Amino acid sequence: MNGSSPSLEAIRWPAPAKLNLFLYINGQRPDGYHELQTLFQFIDKADYLTISCNQHGAITLSPDSDIPLADNLIYKAARALQQYGGTQLGADIQLEKNLPMGGGLGGGSSDAATTLVALNQQWQLNYPNQVLAEIGVKLGADVPIFIHGLAAIAEGVGEKLTSVEVDEPWYVIASPQVHVSTASVFTHKELIRNTPKRPLEQLLTTDWHNDCEPLVKKQYPEVAKAIDALIEYAPSRLTGTGACVFATCQSQQQAQSILDNCPAWLNGFVAQGSNQSALYKQLNLRK
């Protein structure tokens, strides 16, 4: 920790969503984890965390949720950084939850990453992102990508990140009202697990798809129905293990028109892709 006093001001931080523009599963390791290749891009929709430091060491989180505090990723991230840094400071955290839970948009992982990045600043611990990622990966495999803050291809079990610049289109993102268990998808015997690894250049220039999609569509008819509704208008597929699906559009106007013409039961929104996350941008403005 450096010698200056940490600020006790409340700061509002974004916890942005991501899309997996492709997801290929290359095999399963003896320890059960899967080798994969996936492209993460951020979108301009986010949860928000308003964080103020306190000097009595307590970590508080509001509003109350159905998840026990000790199991909440935001609380776990704050406690992990507090213990790692040996700081006596605490934090009072308010969550504005805008992203669907279990949707494949990374909401919980993004919340945890923002907690680590924000408290690293506000507690003035000043650890590099690599240290925060080492803490974060123990909370969830996707946490490091949100700490990294740049669109990237992730390989291995998600820990090897290569930043990339790709188009930043507009998307229609639909959120079927089902919760897809990532664990159940990755343990299912019908999951595609044998897609050959490809070099980065080939990954970026071939048509993209998601190896989880056939299984998730079969297991969750609501997801199949949402993809069928969107694919009439634009290329559409699953993000992550779902349940959210997205259609790639040429403009904001096209995306809004598609959303307006979709059936009333389709719960969706329009968002733009971004190769820099809102958290990354805010962090660099504060430096």
- Buried b / exposed e over 232-270, threshold 16 CB at 10 Å, is ebbebbbbbbbbbbbbbbeeeebbeebbeebeeebebeb
AA letter at 67: I
Kindly calculate the radius of gyration of the chain based on its CA atoms and give it in whole angstroms. 19
The residue from 18, 45, 76, 217 that is catalytic is 18
Q: Which two tokens stand for residue 66?
A: 């159905």
Distance, in Å, from the CA atom of 64 to the CA atom of 20, rounded to the nearest integer, reads 30
142 is catalytic: yes
Q: Give me the catalytic one of 47, 111, 142, 211.
A: 142
Instruction: Give dist(CA 194, CA 198) in Å, integer.
Output: 12
Residues annotated as part of the active site: 18, 142
